[in-house]
Every structure is written in C-alpha cells, then in structure tokens.
Structure 1
Amino acid sequence: MKKTLVSIVLLIITLSIYSQSNGLVFKCNNDTYKLLKEISASVASKGEILLSITTHQDLGWVDEVEKCVILRDTLWMTPYLKRLKEDPSFKMDIEQTSIIVEYLNRHPDKKAEIQKGLDEGRILIGATYTQPYEEMFSGESLIRQLYLGKKWLTSNFNGYKSDTYYNSDVPGRTLQMSQILAKSGVKNMFVSRHEKGVFDWYSPDNSKVTMFSSGHYIDFYNILGKESEAGIRQMAEEVLFWGNYYDSKSKKVIIPALLNYEFIWDQKPVKNCDPFMALWNSIKVIENEKGEKIKVTLPPLRYGNLNTCLNAIRENSTKIKPISGERPAVWLYIHGPSHHYAITASREADILLPDAEKFAAINSLLEGTFRNYDVAAFDEAWEAKIYPDHGWGGKGGEITDRLFLSKFVKAEQDATNLLNGALNRIASKINFIQSGIPLVVFNGLNWRRDDPVTFECRFNKGEAFGVKIIDSDKKVINSQLQSQKYYDDGSLRSATVSFIASGVPSVGYSTFYAEPLKQVEKSVATVFNPVFGNQFFSVRFGKGGIERLYDKTLGKEIIDASKFALGEVFTMQSVGNGAGEFADIQQPSMEGFDKIGFYNTKWEKVSEGPVFTSFKYRQPVKHAVVEETIIIYNQIKRIDFEIDIKNWEGILYREFRAAFPLNMRSSKVTYEVPMGVVEVGKDELKGAAGHMYTTECKLIHPRTLIDWVNASDDSFGATISSSVIAFDYLDPTPDPAQSTFIQPILFASRKSCHWEGNDYIQLGDHHFSFSLYIHEPGWKNGFRSGKQGQNKLYSTMDPISGSSRPLPEEQSFFSVSGELMMFTALKKSEDDNSITLRMTDMSGAEQNIELEMFMPLTKIYKTNLIEEEEKVSNLSGKSFNLKVGKNSIETFKLKLE
C-alpha cells in the first residue's frame, strides 16, 4: 500500500509538470518569458540554486514550550531525518543547538543518524544555543551562546564546526555581535526583516561575518504558495537578483534560496516544494503569448545548506556590501518593559555568574586544586541564563513566560550560591589581625573603587549599644545605622550598617572590622527641609522630585525642571505588542497621563548621617502607588533613586517612566551595549535597515542599555546607572522639552502579538534603582561609575577561619592598566585546569596594557572566544604587557604555578 501511494504521488507530480510545460514546452506570459530568457543569458545559468530548508523556531510562541518540543519532534526532526536516510538528494538546516539537545533527550538513539548527516555535509546546525534578543543579554552571555552551541557541537559530534548563526526573526542587531561570532569561528549569519541581500557586517574592531537576508523569512514560502506560473516568475526574479552578485570571472555560482516556515502556517506551500522544484527543473523550452519559443538553460534547483551558498558568494563575489553599526532593537518592549521581573533576574545573573566564576577560579588557585570549582553547577546556571529566546508570550504565553522567568531566577540564585561559596572560602584564608568582627569586602570589577557597603549586624544582649567600623590600619571609618532593633536593656539586637569602602582593590578584597560600642550613639534629627546641601551639591526638593540640583565642584545647574523634576515618575498610555509585524517601535500616547508633580509631594527625611542623607515620599497616582527614596551620599559624588511601584492594578496598555531632565541643549547621548558603546546618531547602521523598516536607524527610539547611559555637553556629563534595560532620550509629551531628557522605562503592560496570546499585565509590586553621577564632559569620565552602580561590592561577615590563613587583609588578585579595559570573564578553562581570562577594550583605541596577577604565570595562550585555536606566548611572571586592538574582545588562557 505504501509503495502504491508513493507511485500515485509521483504520477500526480509528473502529470502536473507535463500540464504546465505542455510536453516540455513551458507556456507563460511575456513577463515570465522575458525573465527566464534573461536568466538563460546570464551567469546564473552556469550555476545552481541551493534550497536550504528549515523551520523557524521560537522555543514557544506557537504554543507552550513543551508542546512545541513535541511538534518539533513529530512534525520536523523525526520525519526529516527519515527523509534524509531515504533520499540522498535531501539536506536540512537546523537553526540552533538547543533543538538538537531537546531532541536527543527524547531520542538518544538518533545521535548516530545526526552524526552521519553532519559528516556527509547534509545537515547544518546553527552555532548558537538559541536565537536571542541580542541586546537583552550581556556580552558574556552572548559568548556563552557559542559555548553551549558551537563548542558543545564540536565536543559531542566528532569535531563538527558550525560556521553559521541563525537569528531569523528579530529586527535588531547589537554592535559587537559580528565580532563575537567571527572570533568564535562563525563566518555566516542569516537574518530577516532587513534589506534583502548579502552583506559583510563589521564590528568596530574590523571583525566581520557574511550576513544573508532574504528580506523576510516567509518569502520563499510565499513563492511556493502561488500558482505555478506566478511562482516560476517570482523565482526567476529571485535568481536574477542573487545572480547579480556574480560576474563572468566567478568560478562558482550558487544562488541561495531558503524555505524557513512555521508549523502554524498553511502547509500546502511546504508540500508544494518538491513539485515546484520538479517543475522548475523541467523547463527547457519556453513559449510566450505570441507563440515564440526558445530553448533556455536555467540553473537546477536542488537541496543544499545555507553555509554552502554563503561561502560560495563570499569566495566568488566582489559585490558584497559592507555595513556596520548598531541596529537598534525594534522589539525592545517585548522583554524589559513587558517582563520586568524576568529581565531584572536576567540582568542580575549577567553580573553574578561571571563574578562567581572569577572568585571560584581564584579560590581554586589558592587551594591548588579545582575540586571546589563546581563545573556542572556553572554549566547548569549558564544554560538557564541563556535559555530564554525571542519567543515570549504567544499561545499559552503565561506558561512560556513563567518558564523563562524561572530560568532567569534559577541562574540568579545558582550564581548567588556559587559566589557566596567562593567568597566564604577565600575569606576563610585571610589572616585577620585586628580585633572586632571581620567584614571582607570583595570587588568583582578590575579597578580600585570607592562604593557603599551595607550589611546587617546581630549582637547578644548587652554586647553593643552602637557600632564602629575600622579598616585594617585601625582607622575609624564613618558609618551609619538604620533599622535598629533593641533588647529591653537598650542594647542593640540588630542593625543595618552602611559605610563607604574606599580603595577596594581590582578583582580583590579589603578587610574592615565592626566593633561593638558600649555607649549609646546619639540620634540625628530627621526633620525635613526642602533645601539640602553637602560638599558636592545644593539640592531643593519640590513636587515630584528634585527641582534644583547645583554642582558645587563644577559650578553648574544640572537639571532643567521646567516640565519634570529629577527622579519624577510619570505614566502614559502604551498600546502595543512589543514584537510583531510593525515597522517601527509603537510609541506611548498621552491618554491617562499622570505624574507625581500633579500632587503635593509629602517628603520626609528618612535617615541622616555622615554616609548619606535620604528622603522619601509615597504618592498614589492613576492605577498605582509610587514610593521613592532619594539617597544623597556625603563622601562620594553619587545620588541614588530607589523607586517602587506598589498596588499596581494591572491595567492593560499603561507605561511608567522615571524622569532625568538635564540642563543641556546640545548633548551627546551615549550608552553601553554588549561589549561596546553606542553614541546616538553616530554609531548606528547607516540609513534604514530596509524591507518594511524604513525609519533611519539613528532615529529609532527608545533604546536598550547594559548598565548605563550618559549625556554630555561642553559643560558637564551625567551618567545614569540603571537597573532597567530600556530608556528613551526624546520627550514623548506635547511641546517637547528642548533640553536633554533621559527616561528609563520602568515597565509597560502591553500584549502578545499572537492572536491567542497573553496580556503582559505584570501584577504585583515593582522595584527599580538608579544612580546618578555628575562629572566632567564625556562618557569616558562616567564609564567606571556607571558600571559600579549596578555591579555592587560584596561583603562576607565573620567568616569561619581555616587552619591555614596565608592571605593578607587586603589583596588584588588580577588587575590591568587602562582606564577603559574591562574583564568580562575569569574562569576555569573548559578543557584543562588553566585559567581563561577575557577582556574587552571600551576606549576605541589600540592599547598596550599591563596585566598583573597574584601568582606567577608560566605560559600564556591566546585563543578565540570559545577557547580554541591556541597561540602560545613566551611571557611569564606576575606582570607582563599585552597589545589589545581598538574595541577588541580578547581571550587568553593562563598557566599559573
């Protein structure tokens, strides 16, 4: 019966071809005739068309993730592998590595079949673990996409080297992604929702990958959905378009075609693929409406893999257009603003996981063994960290979104546990000399820094009536108590203690001591006065926030409060989907506009002391209650804004923002992106991205950041360190302010673009934090502060001391010269017990740097980003010089004694 059905299908195909071509003569209209004739006379006739076939996969969206896993198995992977076995001409692409991982979990017996397909060059697997929103992750998380993708494939499939990155759906490209790909051995990438063509996409360091865009990934599917002649005509147009990349000198001509379809689409066009290929390949003679006949030579249409096409174009074409720059994310509302809880956990894990690796690796060096470096736990945490892809919401979106949230929370919690374990083990090795309770303060950044530390002290009854902080030189450090609880004799039961830890070494620690005091500390009056001043600022509080901020050092008025106060929260209507078939970011509107300044703000002074003075209000607004605490530090030039949106009613299509109105008229706005920096209007992709996206990239707003955004004019600079990913720099209200107006987007209650999708209501209380730094003009003067605001110091109190305590009270383990060099990873190497160190230049200039370590180096290897292709250097010792190129991401393996 099975053979009979196959015969019937082949007969139908043959009859269809005969009917269309009228016995090997293809009758067509004059336009189609002209196109086919033109192909026959062109260089394309000497080549072939390779059709790459795959399905586009969000992890979910089509349905809940687990249901999509079943669909991927039953509708795609299993039947396609079966056809691969039965049909030697068939080939297939698989967009991402996670699909292979999940499939092998269901069918471990299929590994040999997949290996055979890879060995024969008939299967292509994408080089990343998933297809991410690139701007949503730190640079290190993007690199780990290649560890869990390309490197995992090499380790598990007989050395298979994936050379192609699929990111089929997302209209956004981050500045340094091409460098991350190129320095991981990836040569090609597929995108859509972009100008149709082949491009060399460059990063600022001059790395490049060959980028192929079909316009939209649905385009070839649409060809298959047309009536035969209409499909042939459009296919001919495609051939001529891609044929223009070649000329008579091209040694090889391959025309790319890509069928990238989704399960929820009508499957008739997909089933038409083989009949269409047969029809195209049967055309030898064509006849127009006048009855004119000619013989034609068309390039045969066969199955292939995308990398074969792109490698051929790169090697045989001189017409590939170079492009560079950030393509700002059009779909940014889908993640940070619409999934605040999840992206907050993700951003925390982006910081905590690399720091956990740093200190776990350092502890292993101190112990002379990696026994306590939990490789499996780190691998599991990283998999959770990078698992959520671009498929938020959709059908069953509540379940998908909860899964993605749980992944990010797991990554954050695992990182916290791994970090605390490493810090405690290091602290146990310190020789504490002073009396008092030791407090070890750790710094994960690679420069010496001054920053706030807050910790909780607990005491026995009668032990302490106050607390004094001293450093390792017995110098008393200003400190401040909050949230005190007392025994009935007036002694302290517990208290939260804050102080400024000064000069904490690069990737190292300083030791302080908390000493109980027998005398009661004098309380400080907390009567609110709207005017406040310290050595750095003169401040006046008013409706909604700070209405005057004067910098005493620079002699400048910092804010323009004519429309909004500094730190003021406001809310607008925000209709949109986050992601979807729209050409530009859906902007908020003024319906239901409300702001704190519409009300009489009732300020109170919460705390006052030598470390900081804090002020707070609580104010109901439409659909929520806003609580904000502003903390002005007295020893460092920093102001913190802690914002809570409480009693949120879950109203669809609302958005909350915070206001940072700056007294600048012609400022440059610059912000941090993964492994790089973008200046608005300068560093974007030139012009519009193309296809349906016609807005110039430099005009797209809002934008996404990693840790900070800076605005600078000729008189001063302001850097805002932000807990949220999205911000705007253009005033969305009527009669826009002429001054610079930075607005972090707190959250937005939008809706999935799937017709059965969920609302992104985000019920519950929401917390946000920002730090403002005022400095000399230029983002470079605020870079370190901007990183410090989100990368907090860590503290370990009263650690258990080990039997051996060789460490001093202060130590830097690793440091590097260069104000704008940044460590992004310091970890156990993947394949041996050396240390992998990764760093990136943020300055945009080639640097000769000095790297210092606490242990002598015996050998150093320069590798690619996923620790391959080692080049040995003869450098040794505790300090040595390295050359790092402009904007370059460099990875080294260090052999230490």
Structure 2
Amino acid sequence: MFRNSFLMKVKLLVVAFSLFGMNGKAQEHQVVKVTNETFKVLKDVSNSALADGEVLLSLTTHQDLGWIDEIEKCVVMRDTQWITPFLQRLSDEAAFEMDVEQASIMREYITRHPDKKEEIVQRLKEGRMLVGATHNQPYEEMYFSESLARQFYLGKLWLKNEFEGYNATSYYNSDVPGRSLQMPQLLAKAGVENMFISRHGRGVFDWKSPDGSSVTSYSPGHYIDFYNVLGKEDDEAIKELGKQALYWTTEYDYIPGEKAVMPAVLNFEFIWDPKPVHNLDPFMKLWNNLATVENEDGERLEVSIPKIKFSTLDKFFDQMRQGTKELPSIMGERPNVWVYIHGPSHHWALDHSRKADVLLPAAEKFAMADVLVSKSYANYPVDLFAQAWESKIYPDHGWGGKGGQSTDDIFLARFADAHAKAQYLLDNSLNSLASKVATDQGKGVPVVVFNSLSWERTSPVQISMQFDAETARSVRLFSKSGAEIPVQLSQVVQRKDGYLKSAELCFVASNVPSIGYETYYAQFSDEPLNQPALTFNPAFENDFFEAQLADGGLSSLLDKQLNKELVDDQFFKAGEIFTTKSEGNGAGEFFEVQQVSMDGFDKTGNYPTAWELVADGPVYTSFRYRQPIRNAVAELQITFYNNVKKVDFDVELKNWDGTMFREYRMALPLKMDDGKVAYEVPFGVVEVGKDEMTGIAGNGYETPCKELHPRGIENWINASGTGFGVTLSSSVVGMDYVDPTGKNLPGTILQPILLASRRSCHGEGNDYHQTGDHRYSFSITSHQPGWENGFRFGKESNEALFAVVAPEKYRHAPLPERGSFLSIDQDNIVVTAMKKAENEDGMVVRCYNLDGQQTTAKLKLWEAFDTVYETNLIEENKAKLKGNRSGTVKLDLGKYEIKTIKLK
C-alpha cells in the first residue's frame, strides 16, 4: 500500500520467470571500478563478521486484498503475475524460494487452481515456500479479542489442515504502523515465532507482551527498502547494501563460529516501476561475483562479502536467533497511526463489525451450552459458524484505493454478513435453550433472560411483545419467585378499545448468572396503562445522579454517592455533538495521526436547545433534542436509569450531506485534572503513558508512541483522577481524550469519533463521504478511581442481556428456571470463548488475566468432563490438567496471560 506518487505507475509489473533471466553486468573475476566511498564500505564489510556470511533474501509481493485495484482484479493479478510464475520457477530452479504473506492468498489460489495443491504441498515440505500464519494482515485494534484470535484459526490452523500439516511460524504485517498490546502473546500462543513489520525503525528485536512472551520481529524500516536498493545504479546499490551489512555487524553481536546472516526482503507491489524487480537477478550476479574492486585512485581490493541467496523468512529468523548473543527487546502497544482508516472513515462497516464481534462469541457460547444440555454435537452449526467467522475477519488493511468504492462495499457486505449470521446463530441457540427451561405457564408469559458474559450481572433488558386482541391493557412483570419487577413500556401501539397491540418493555434483570440465564414472567392486566403527562424540567435527579440539562448537553452531572461533580462545562457540555475540519487520509505516507483543526467549527451548544422529556417511568427517564448543525442534523437522547448507575447517550447524525473533510465527535468533558486514561484492547487494557512501547517507532515516525492520539478501543475507555473515575462504553472504535480546540481547556475530554469524511491516499482512490444517516450508542457510569472499577460496566453496556419471550417449552424440559453453564471465581479473569472444539467433539474455553499477578481460578462447568487439556491458541494439546467429577477445573494463569483449555 505504498503511497508515494512517483510510484503510482499505470504500467503493471509482470513478474514472470523470463524477467529474472537477464544477463548480469559483471562476469566472474572481473575487476569492478567503484567510488572511493563504496571501496571503503566494501573494505569494512570484508573485515566484518559478515565477510563469510549470507544475505538471506526473502522474495514476496505485498498484498492488500484490493487497493491497487478492485479485489477480483487483484485476485487475477496475484495468480497470473505472481503465484503461478513463481511456482514455475520453484519447479525449474532448486535454489529459488518464495514467501506468501498470508493464508487468504493460498485460499484464493487453490480455489482457482485445485490441481496445484499437491505441488504447493511439496514446496512447503521442501521448505522452499513460506506462507504467513494469519488469514490476512489486519488492523489489530480494529477487532475484538476473539476476532483477532481467529486470524490464526483461518490462517495457521487452516494451512495445517489444508496442506498436510504445514506449520506456519511467521506473521507478515508489512504495512500497518501499529501493534496491539497482546499481539506478541497471541502469536506465541499460536506457535508463531517470527513477525515481519515495517514503517518502524530497522532492526531485529523481540517484541514482548506484558506476560513476558515474545515474538522475534524484523523491520527493514519500510518494506520498499530492498526494492530501492535494486533501483539504484550498480555502484550506489553495492554501497547501500554494504552499508546495511555494516549496520548489522555494528548493531548485533554475532557468535563466533556461527554463520552470520543479514536479511533482505524484496516485498514489492504490482503497480510499482518494474525496473528494480527486473534488476534482481543481474544485481545478485554482480554482488555475488564481486571479487576485486578498484577505487578512483587505482587502489585494488580483494573483497569478501556475504553472498545473496534465496531464502524464506523463517530461515533468517532461525539463524539470527542461533547466531547472535542477545537481541534487543520492545514491549508495549504501538498505537495505530492509521486509526482513521476504518471506524471514522467507514462507520457503517465498522458498526456491523463491532456488533458481530459481540454476537459471534455469544452465539458460540450458547450453541455450546445447547450441546451440553442436549448431550449431542449433532446440531452444532459448524459450517455456518465457519462462514460467519470468515466474513468477520475478511476485511484487511486495504480500505479504499483504486476501485476503492468496490472494495469498501465488499468489506461492508462481509461485515454485514457476519453480523446477520451471528444474530441468526444466536437466536437459534437462545430459542432452543429457552425451550428447554421448565417454565411455569401459570406464573405468566415466560421471559428467559440470557447473560453471555462470565460474571453475574444486573442490567437493563429490552424486549418486544405483540398482543392478541383484548388480552392486555397493561403489563406487569414478576420474578420466578413472584416478586414484582418494575417495568416500563415504550413505543406503545394501542387498539381503539385501549387494548395493547404491541409495545417495547424495559426492566432491570438482577443477578443473571455467568454465561447463564434467569426466568421472569409477564402478566397481562386489564388495568389501564399508566401514561403520565410528560413535562420537561431541565433539572433531573434520581438515586445516583443530579443532572442539569443545558444548550447542547449536560452542564452538570453530580454523582450523589461520591459527592463529585463529573462535568466541566466551560466549553463543552456532556453529550454535546461538535464538528471540526478533518483534512487527511485514513492511511498514507504520513508519520503521525493527521489531527483535526477548528476551521468551520460548530457545536450543538451554539444554539438554544429545545429539549423534550420523551420517557419518564419506574425504570428510566429520557430526554431528547434535535438540532441542525453544520452539514447535518444532530439528535441526542440521554437516558437515566433508576435502578442501575447508568446513563445512555444515543446519538444520531441525520441528513449528513457528505461534505469532504469534516469530522463529528461527541464530547464528555470531565472535571478531572490530570486524568489517567485507560482503554480496552484485545485481551487486555492499555493505560495511556504507561503501556505503550517506549520512545518513538523510528523510520520517520518521530512522535513518542505515548503521545499518539486518537486511539482504537475495544468496548470502553476510562478516565480516573480527582477522586473519581468515569467509564464510557462506545459503539465506535475511534476515541480521543486530548483537547481538540487548541484552547488548553482544563480537565479530561473523552471524545468518541463519530465519522470523518476523509479520502483514500491512492491517486485514483475514493472519497469517504459516508453521506446519509448514522446512529451511535454510548453509556457512562462513575465510580471510585481506577479502570478496574468500571471495566465490567464497559463490556456490559456493549454486550446487552438477551431475552426470549414465550418460548415453546419442551414437554420434558430439563433445565431449571435459573442456571449457569460456566462461571469463574476470580474477578480479574475474563472468558472470551466457550465453543465446540475444532475438528473434534469437545468444548474449548479461552480466558485471560487482566491482572499483573499470577491468579489461580476455579472454572465451574455445567457438567463434568472426562479429560481436560491446556492447549495452544489454535487448540492443539499441550498438557493434561486436573478436573474433578463436580465439574470444576483449576486454572493457573500468569500475569496478563491468555489461556485456552479443551474439555472432552
């Protein structure tokens, strides 16, 4: 996805065998004349540890799924201009080797050429062909925990199953200038030892996760590096490669007696000028045959330099680990500089993605629970889950580009497909389980509420009900023991006689078990529906908060329990929608996130706000306004819950006209000096200023990583300080916390990024207008300082309780009215997966430790299993664990550890 305009050639690069057969410019034993500077470089190399070493050249092409053109055109190019001719060269030349960055390319290729599968297996077994261990090259922060883990299921595990046990040990993510905190641990747990990255300072180093696991990583600076060497005139190319050899001997301590190696990766794109690629074989011949050089003064030198040989990337890593005394290390998150490319620039697509991130693991949990109850795997929808997960992680880092609207539409369609399949799978499992609950029709219409999270929780539930004629004027709700539960009706449709036709019911379900369910009963009543007159008052109070509504949002929100004012209203109100100029690209050749400016600034608080009281009842109270704002109409609905400490901010941007280079955000200005900010990432939490990699990334990226913003978050962001903390759950991935106004405003301002109308950096790329209506949801709570006090709320608000109304009960329903299919006894352990094992009958559970301390936890299961194994990330057995007949498994988790177990 290299962006410099001088490379944007119309001419396509045809990488065929014939292009590598050109005659070299130097013959054996020829004296080569070089400049004095090149002479000195070669002299130094000849006296270095690499004099008798090797340059291990990995040859591949960098692939976005699209970007250089529409996806299907790129599929054809990958076939005809790369894989097929390279396979031919592997057949013709025993010394030739090649890398393929990702597994999805092989999936494409064998779909087009099933007859080539046996040949590919042979080359993989020979070790002359390498395929990367992930399905594609993702934005790691774009996905929730399980979606990122499934990159290795559809990558490494698929490759192993498809190509006779091929073990992929290297991860290519050539383009993206960002690294998620726990990615090294995911790689290590999947048995992936090596990582190729770029847009990062040159070098080989161990990139560590907080648990201490690591992956050996190599960055050439930019993946164009060796291509640029080949693009130089002979003397300049020799000098540059010689300088790189000196870098390796200076920076790394080679072990005497071990073969010294240095890397070179020719990782090119089809649209680049083909001349440097054509020069590969001639330059290799020139370099490898250098024996005597003569400088400008007539001085001659017999040189001894490392020979270039074709290799696969894993061979370089193996020898580098073996042949050097110690590798430097990096630990921490590298915030993605291209964070604008996905969520802000493609809101509709990422909205589907994030919903599927929640629903697919939930669907797996309850499909597995149904297996446990029915004692049969026969109805577990293996194929449909596989299709859903493939759609879920199909989009890669190549949004936009040439033909970018087509690519973006395909990415949107795949995320929407994953979302729809996840909802379908979840509904089927919930309905099946609810039908197995021994409900009591004498208590009323059963409402079975399900909790997909791994702790007992109390949260609002929203259900829809349809009513037969003359059955109910109002509805009451009761627990299974007969205690009445406050319920509130909305969107009520009544018949002329006053009887209900349909309504939405909201109530708070209390203490719903971990990955389990609780049963309630709705009773129909002939009592008239209580619909009090709604009178707006800008002051609101319940047991948790006192609030003041003002122009644009809340000017005050007092936590009554903590006696703390949460809102600093000097410039923004809480929930206020504002717009700024947002000129830039989502991704491109820039070295820090392109920031917004105040040009054309507007906010809803610039106008008198016509608030309405739209709901007021025993469960919640809601206020709403609609306000034209620059280029759009903003709608905000704020909902206060009376029985849980929760405030919802539901935002709609309507009539958005798609004007380019505008951005919309919601403001949450906190009365908090020096607030400490933390946010959820896959399998962990990043504390800003603490958990980023130290210093700068290098290779032009000179902003300290801890200063990069906005960030990409999973479910929530937290700010803590001045005696309180606030946790904000978010439907969007892009989140900022730095004052955008340049006014040096006090406090901490959390800002979900609603959308940004930026454009593709490709010269023929598309604009990201996103014209139309957009909907968002956010929730907040306040608590004692520390993200630990709010993380459960942050996940709960994005992962709602599910409910089944009036299930068709089995005649011999085996389940009690309340139950848990899986629970864990430690608050710092989060379960992300409970699913059928891959390729066999059995249950897999994955969890992680949020804490920096080792934890022993007890996993309580629905039933006992005969055998329990600890596995790697892709479910391959590592060690047998002890279980017991009561269905309890003891788990020892190290600090910040991700652990996967299999039960049979």
Matched residue SS, 1:718: strand
Structure 2 equivalent of residue 893 of structure 1: 902
Structure 2 equivalent of residue 820 of structure 1: 828
After superposing the two structures, state which structure 1 stretch, 313-322 or 463-472, moved more. 313-322
Q: Is the 8 A contact 1:246 1:253 kept in 2?
A: no
Structure 2 CA distance, aligned partners of 1:248 and 1:282?
A: 26
Alignment partner for residue 36 of structure 1, among 39, 42, 46?
A: 42
Structure 1 equivalent of residue 623 of structure 2: 615
Matched, 1:284 2:291: yes
Matched, 1:453 2:465: no
Please give the TM-score of this superposition, normalised by the length of structure 1.
Answer: 0.98
Structure 1 equivalent of residue 68 of structure 2: 62
Structure 2 equivalent of residue 3 of structure 1: none
Q: Is the 8 A contact 2:550 2:609 kept in 1?
A: yes
Matched residue SS, 2:814: coil
Change (3 A) 1:544 1:894: same
Overall identity of the aligned pairs, in %: 50
Structure 2 equivalent of residue 880 of structure 1: 889
Shift of 1:881: 2.3
Structure 1 CA distance, aligned partners of 2:790 and 2:532?
A: 33
Alignment partner for residue 835 of structure 1, among 828, 843, 854?
A: 843
Shift of 1:252: 2.0
Matched residue SS, 1:270: helix
Matched residue SS, 2:750: strand
Q: Is the 8 A contact 1:250 1:317 kept in 2?
A: no
Shift of 1:469: 0.6
Alignment partner for residue 165 of structure 2, among 135, 151, 159?
A: 159
Can you list the C-alpha shifts for 1:560-582, whole angstroms capped at 9, x where unaligned? 01110000000001000010000
Structure 1 CA distance, aligned partners of 2:18 and 2:445?
A: 85
Change (3 A) 1:11 1:388: closer
Q: Number of matched residues?
A: 886
State the one-letter code of the partner of 2:404: G
State the one-letter code of the partner of 1:330: V
Alignment partner for residue 208 of structure 2, among 202, 210, 215?
A: 202
Structure 1 equivalent of residue 7 of structure 2: none
Structure 2 CA distance, aligned partners of 1:547 and 1:526?
A: 22
Once the two structures are superposed, the pairs formed by residues 235-634 of structure 1 within 5 Å of their partners are 235-244=241-250, 245-433=252-440, 434-634=442-642
Structure 1 CA distance, aligned partners of 2:117 and 2:210?
A: 39
Change (3 A) 1:12 1:892: closer
Matched residue SS, 2:23: helix
Alignment partner for residue 747 of structure 2, among 722, 739, 753?
A: 739
Structure 1 equivalent of residue 798 of structure 2: 790
Structure 2 CA distance, aligned partners of 1:34 and 1:553?
A: 74
State the one-letter code of the partner of 2:533: A
Matched, 1:13 2:19: no
Can you list the C-alpha shifts for 1:834-878, whole angstroms capped at 9, x where unaligned? 100000011222111111112123221000010113311232222
Matched, 1:25 2:31: yes
Structure 1 CA distance, aligned partners of 2:116 and 2:473?
A: 69
State the one-letter code of the partner of 1:134: E
Structure 1 equivalent of residue 694 of structure 2: 686
Shift of 1:126: 0.2
Shift of 1:831: 2.6
State the one-letter code of the partner of 1:892: I
State the one-letter code of the partner of 1:13: N
Alignment partner for residue 71 of structure 1, among 74, 77, 86?
A: 77
Matched residue SS, 1:875: coil
Shift of 1:695: 0.3
Can you list the C-alpha shifts for 1:558-616, whole angstroms capped at 9, x where unaligned? 11011100000000010000100001100011111000010000001000001000000
Structure 1 CA distance, aligned partners of 2:211 and 2:359?
A: 27
Can you list the C-alpha shifts for 1:494-541, whole angstroms capped at 9, x where unaligned? 111110011110000001111101110222221000011011111110
Alignment gaps of 5+ in structure 2: 1-15
Structure 1 CA distance, aligned partners of 2:742 and 2:290?
A: 61
Structure 2 CA distance, aligned partners of 1:119 and 1:688?
A: 40
Alignment partner for residue 186 of structure 2, among 165, 170, 180?
A: 180
C-alpha RMSD of matched pairs (Å): 1.4
Can you list the C-alpha shifts for 1:759-803, whole angstroms capped at 9, x where unaligned? 000011000000001011110000100110101111111111113
Structure 2 CA distance, aligned partners of 1:60 and 1:232?
A: 34
After superposing the two structures, state which structure 1 stretch, 470-479 or 251-260, moved more. 251-260
Structure 1 CA distance, aligned partners of 2:857 and 2:149?
A: 23
Structure 1 equivalent of residue 858 of structure 2: 850
Matched residue SS, 1:689: coil
Structure 2 CA distance, aligned partners of 1:122 and 1:556?
A: 65
Q: Is the 8 A contact 1:175 1:676 kept in 2?
A: yes
Runs of 4+ in 1 over 4 A off after TM superposition: 6-12
Can you list the C-alpha shifts for 1:135-173, whole angstroms capped at 9, x where unaligned? 101121111100111111111111110000000000000
Can you list the C-alpha shifts for 1:251-274, whole angstroms capped at 9, x where unaligned? 121211110000000011001000
Can you list the C-alpha shifts for 1:384-442, whole angstroms capped at 9, x where unaligned? 00010000000000000000000000001001101110111111111012421111110
Structure 1 CA distance, aligned partners of 2:119 and 2:468?
A: 67
After superposing the two structures, state which structure 1 stretch, 695-704 or 234-243, moved more. 234-243
Shift of 1:45: 1.2
Matched, 1:193 2:203: no
Change (3 A) 1:798 1:197: same
Can you list the C-alpha shifts for 1:108-149, whole angstroms capped at 9, x where unaligned? 111111111111110000000000000101121111100111
Alignment partner for residue 712 of structure 1, among 712, 716, 720?
A: 720
State the one-letter code of the partner of 1:349: A
Structure 2 CA distance, aligned partners of 1:827 and 1:879?
A: 17
Matched, 1:233 2:239: yes
Change (3 A) 1:37 1:819: same
Q: Is the 8 A contact 2:882 2:890 kept in 1?
A: no
Change (3 A) 1:250 1:319: farther
After superposing the two structures, state which structure 1 stretch, 100-109 or 878-887, moved more. 878-887
Matched residue SS, 1:807: coil
State the one-letter code of the partner of 1:179: Q
Change (3 A) 1:880 1:714: farther
Shift of 1:248: 4.9
Matched residue SS, 1:179: helix
Alignment partner for residue 727 of structure 1, among 727, 735, 745?
A: 735
Change (3 A) 1:819 1:248: closer
Change (3 A) 1:590 1:178: same
Structure 2 equivalent of residue 765 of structure 1: 773
Can you list the C-alpha shifts for 1:538-564, whole angstroms capped at 9, x where unaligned? 111000000011111111111101110
Structure 2 CA distance, aligned partners of 1:264 and 1:533?
A: 62
Matched residue SS, 2:863: strand
Can you list the C-alpha shifts for 1:349-405, whole angstroms capped at 9, x where unaligned? 111111111100110111111111110100110000001000000000000000000
After superposing the two structures, state which structure 1 stretch, 45-54 or 685-694, moved more. 45-54
Matched residue SS, 2:443: coil
Matched residue SS, 2:217: strand
Please give the TM-score of this superposition, normalised by the length of structure 2.
Answer: 0.97
Q: Is the 8 A contact 2:255 2:325 kept in 1?
A: no
Change (3 A) 1:778 1:172: same
Alignment gaps of 5+ in structure 1: 1-5
Matched residue SS, 1:180: helix
Structure 2 CA distance, aligned partners of 1:465 and 1:818?
A: 45
Shift of 1:471: 0.9
Q: Is the 8 A contact 2:17 2:89 kept in 1?
A: no
Structure 2 equivalent of residue 696 of structure 1: 704
